[in-house]
Amino acid sequence: MVNGKNLKYSEKPIRVLIAKPGIDGHDRGVYVLARAFRDAGMEVIYPGLLPTPESIVDAAIDEDVDVIALSLLNGAHMAVFTKVMKTLNKKKVKDIAVVGGGIIPDEDKPKLEKIGVTGNYGPGTPLSVIIEHVKMRAFAVRNEKWGRKKRAT
């Protein structure tokens, strides 16, 4: 990371990969979030439409992100978010948090939390709430990663 070299882990800008998994072109939300995350000091990567779960996970690893933010408005979140989580687990990725959002019925939220996708915000959520959640998840994974490194030395 270029601009974080001499900073403590908690001061480096948070890196977020925003992705729309599945077959869904409704990208109004991701562009709003991308700008909001940037304005909040985060670094944002958006790989474009129609990524596969594999390409999302690969990009997240390559880009060394703290958080993957998934957005889906077509109702397929249970199937598609699950695929992304399975791919992450298969690749044994532990230091990337996953948050979700879109048109997600209340009853699906606990099920998504259970597989590790948190947030799951719907329309009308203030940007500040989403930003705080992403920060919280990012620092949680960083704490854990940093703690592991510390223990290892």
Residues forming the site for another protein (CB under 8 A): 22-28, 31-32, 34-36, 44, 46, 48-50, 52, 74-76, 78-80, 83, 103, 105-106, 122-124, 126-128
Q: Which is nearer to another protein, 97 or 101 (CB)?
A: 101
**Minimum gap (Å) between residue 50 Cβ and another protein:** 8
**Minimum gap (Å) between residue 79 Cβ and another protein:** 2
**Minimum gap (Å) between residue 149 Cβ and another protein:** 32
**Minimum gap (Å) between residue 6 Cβ and another protein:** 27
**Minimum gap (Å) between residue 132 Cβ and another protein:** 13
Q: Which is nearer to another protein, 44 or 57 (CB)?
A: 44
Q: Which is nearer to another protein, 110 or 124 (CB)?
A: 124
CA dist., res. 104 & res. 101, Å (int): 7
Please work out, in degrees rounded to the nearest 5, the angle formed at the alpha carbon of residue 120 by the alpha carbons of 119 and 124. Answer: 100
Q: Which is nearer to another protein, 34 or 60 (CB)?
A: 34
Residue found under tokens 């990663």? 145
Count other C-beta atoms under 10 Å from residue 119's C-beta.
23
106: number of CA atoms within 13 Å, CB side? 0
Q: Which is nearer to another protein, 75 or 140 (CB)?
A: 75
